[in-house]
Amino acid sequence: MTMDAAAIRRQCLGRLSQLETERESWVAHWRDVSDMILPRRGRFLVSDRNKGGRRNRKIIDNTGTLALRTMAAGLMSGITSPARPWFMLAAQSPALARDDGVQRWLADVTALLREIFSASNAYDALAAVYEELAAFGTAAMVVLPDFDDVITCETLTVGQYYIAAGKTGQVDTLYRVYSLSVAQVVDEFAPADPAGKRDWSAISPTTRTLFDNNRLDAWVEVVQAIEPNRDHRPGPGPAWRKPWRSVWIEKGAPDDKLLRISGFDEFPAMCPRWNLTAPDIYGTSPAMDALGDVEQLQAQEKDKSLAIQKMVKPPLNVPANLRGNSVVNPLPNGTTFYDLAGGPTPPVATPLYQVQPRLGEMQEDMDRVRRRIRDAFYVDLWLMISQMDRAGVTATEIDARREEKLLMLGPVLERLHHEFLDPLIDRVFAIASRAGLLPPPPPALAGQRLRVRYVSMLAQAQRAVAAGAIERLCGFVGNLAGADPAILDTIDFDHAIDSYADAIGADPRLLKPADVVAAIRQARAKQQQAAQAMAAVQQGAASAQLLSQTDTSRPGNALTDILGNVTGALP
């Protein structure tokens, strides 16, 4: 099968038009959020690029912006903190949970993946993703292979991209439209070879002319389409036959030209949604929930400022004869000159009306609005989680009020794991594997599936409910054992330790493998048996000595009497 560039171009641009129509109803809402909370985010026109003009003119009180920043920072530190482990690879099969070789390989690969995240720009991109997610309810990040850092990540802002979901509801299509400079287009799609020659077959005549005329910073509108490849067939083949197809199109090029067509083995974009109502494609966000309060706060701030201005600079009632050459100076220590010819009483300027705003009540109402905004962004929860990370405080010390707040984030955290972090780690794992960076897996993992276990501060805080239940049960049984030690037989302590370690996110290598534990217990049982046998021998020897020293008022002693009786009883 040959590639029909013209047909692919028509198909991609046709689908882009459909995606634009599907997304149109969201744009106005996103603009409002951008204007009122996060003005430097969002690109809703292709020409909206590299503009440094002030965008926050609608923001007077920045409570919403600060609350969103706190939320983004809380998500970053609570879910994917670069300063502490936040995920671990684990075997899907419980039978391999204590296999020493498997656990060592999983720990080595986990450490390698963490190092890849740290060495690349992943954490910078993650921080931007959380801001987009909290503000607009949908975020998008593309992860690509990189020769130097293994991976490179690019976060898109709302308005730059269009998405579509597959039959399972998972996002599997990403289109983006944006501008590149002429130099960027030529260097990316027509790079010079060692001899300095370029292949201009993919570049439009217009762009080539701009390049030849040294118009390197002129803008070129391009489209990238990443979607499931309906022409995919298993087995080796060209890159454009891979499971996901990637098509680059220059909009102003002739109808038979493509900048590039290639493919991916897995979907390279992670597109998490904060909250989703089926069958919507785009998600809703805390900023959307708080938008009404944010707008109200701006209006109240304007009214309060106007009231204070009227109180400090009230409108004046000025006599008519002060008009003209006379000047009224309302500034402190200002001097006003007037003419006495108008009569014995000098004309004066008086306030038109007295303004006495109830600033206390206004401020109190504004504080209530600010609290609602902070609650919408879970500000107190993020501050609480940051305090849990200090010395001497553990996740199991969360009280009932805090547990309730954490449970509110349960569905969101599960969605982030499912739509964002799981695909992200799978993608990085696959890129590292294809690059030959992973150590050979142990034979026990042949044909086995792996899973990701999250051990971030937020994940541990939510699992603290389970850890607390284990602690309370063991404490209760321990108290009962003081009255009846037999009650300890009802607890499977091995399983309790495994469950507790999983709940608090402990490193599996802290627990000895099952075969090692069995060998230790077997050796201990043998030692106990030997000790019991030795104690029996020693007790028998001591009894014999005691009998030999016991006088029975007859010749001999108690021991000889017993032996004599036994001998007489023998046939």
Strands (E), 243-294: 244-250, 260-264, 269-270
Residue 390 is which amino acid? R
Helix 182-189, helix 205-212: angle, nearest 10: 110
- Mean pLDDT of the 477-495 span: 77
Instruction: Give the other-Cβ count within 10 Å of 204's Cβ.
Output: 18
- Mean pLDDT of the 42-65 span: 76
Q: How far apart are CA 142 and CA 540, in angstroms?
A: 79
Q: How far apart are CA 297 and CA 500, in angstroms?
A: 46
pLDDT surpassing 70 at residue 420: yes
As a dihedral over the C-alpha atoms of residue 210, residue 211, residue 213, residue 219, rounded to 10 degrees, the angle is 40
Confidence bin at 565 (pLDDT 50/70/90): low
Q: Of 53-57, 164-168, 235-239, 496-500, which has the strongest mean pLDDT?
A: 164-168
Task: Specify the pLDDT at position 392.
Answer: 47
Contacts 24+ apart (CB under 8 A), 180-183: 180/219, 180/220, 180/222, 181/216, 181/217, 181/218, 181/219, 181/220, 182/207, 182/210, 182/211, 182/215, 182/216, 182/217, 182/218, 182/219, 182/220, 183/211, 183/216, 183/217
Q: How far apart are CA 317 and CA 326, in angstroms?
A: 15
Confidence bin at 113 (pLDDT 50/70/90): very high
Task: Specify the pLDDT at position 553.
Answer: 53
Task: Specify the pLDDT at position 343.
Answer: 54
Residue 509 is which amino acid? R
pLDDT surpassing 70 at residue 125: yes
Q: Which residues lie closer than 8 Å to 547 by C-beta, 6 or more apart?
A: 557, 558, 559, 562
Task: Specify the pLDDT at position 33.
Answer: 94
Q: Which residues pair with 90 in a beta bridge?
A: 451
Task: Specify the pLDDT at position 25.
Answer: 93
CA angle, 478 then 482 then 484, to 5°: 100
Q: What is the pLDDT of residues 293-329, one digit of tens each?
A: 999 999 988 888 888 777 777 776 666 666 654 556 6
Instruction: Report CA-CA distances (Å) from 113 to 85, 165, 458.
Output: 11, 28, 20
Task: Specify the pLDDT at position 1.
Answer: 44
Q: Which residues pair with 400 in a beta bridge?
A: none
pTM to 2 decimal places: 0.78
Q: How far apart are CA 495 and CA 138, in angstroms?
A: 40
DSSP structural state of residue 221: E
Instruction: Report CA-CA distances (Å) from 135 to 65, 382, 424.
Output: 9, 16, 21
pLDDT surpassing 90 at residue 291: yes
Q: What percent of the chain has pLDDT over 70?
A: 77
Q: How far apart are CA 542 and CA 559, in angstroms?
A: 12
DSSP structural state of residue 259: S
Q: What is the pLDDT of residues 322-376, one digit of tens each?
A: 665 455 666 655 556 555 555 555 556 666 566 677 778 888 898 999 999 999 9
Q: What is the pLDDT of residues 140-180, one digit of tens each?
A: 999 999 988 999 999 999 999 999 999 888 999 999 998 89
What length does the chain have? 571
pLDDT surpassing 70 at residue 204: yes
Q: What is the pLDDT of residues 453-472, one digit of tens each?
A: 888 877 777 666 666 677 77
Q: What is the pLDDT of residues 514-539, one digit of tens each?
A: 677 778 878 888 888 888 878 777 77
pLDDT surpassing 50 at residue 38: yes
Q: How far apart are CA 117 and CA 172, in angstroms?
A: 23
Q: Which residues lie closer than 8 Å to 252 by C-beta, 6 or more apart?
A: 204, 206, 207, 220, 221
Q: Which sequence spans correspond to the domains of the chain?
A: 139-283, 315-352, 515-569
Residue listed under structure tokens 């300095």:
196
pLDDT surpassing 90 at residue 289: yes
Task: Specify the pLDDT at position 57.
Answer: 80
Task: Specify the pLDDT at position 494.
Answer: 74
Q: How far is CA 527 from the centre of its chain?
A: 52
Spatial contact of 470 and 506, defined as CB atoms under 8 Å apart: no
Output the six-digit token pair for 115: 């190092």
Task: Specify the pLDDT at position 219.
Answer: 92
CA angle, 42 then 45 then 49, to 5°: 70
Q: What is the pLDDT of residues 362-382, one digit of tens each?
A: 888 989 999 999 999 988 888
219-256 residues labelled b (16+ CB within 10 A) or e (exposed): bbebbbbbbebeeeeeeeeeebbbebbbbbbbeebeee
Helix (H) or strand (E) holding 185: helix 182-189
**Mean pLDDT of the residues in the chain:** 82
* Better-predicted residue by pLDDT, 387 or 264: 264
Q: How far apart are CA 316 and CA 351, in angstroms?
A: 4
pLDDT surpassing 50 at residue 197: yes
Q: Which residues lie closer than 8 Å to 18 by C-beta, 6 or more apart?
A: none
Lowest mean per-residue pLDDT among 111-125, 285-299, 328-342, 465-479: 328-342
Confidence bin at 448 (pLDDT 50/70/90): confident
- Mean pLDDT of the 417-427 span: 95
Task: Specify the pLDDT at position 278.
Answer: 78
* Better-predicted residue by pLDDT, 161 or 502: 161
* Better-predicted residue by pLDDT, 508 or 103: 103
DSSP structural state of residue 315: P
Residue 48 is which amino acid? D
Task: Specify the pLDDT at position 250.
Answer: 93
Q: What is the pLDDT of residues 233-277, one digit of tens each?
A: 777 777 778 899 999 999 888 888 899 999 999 999 999 999 998
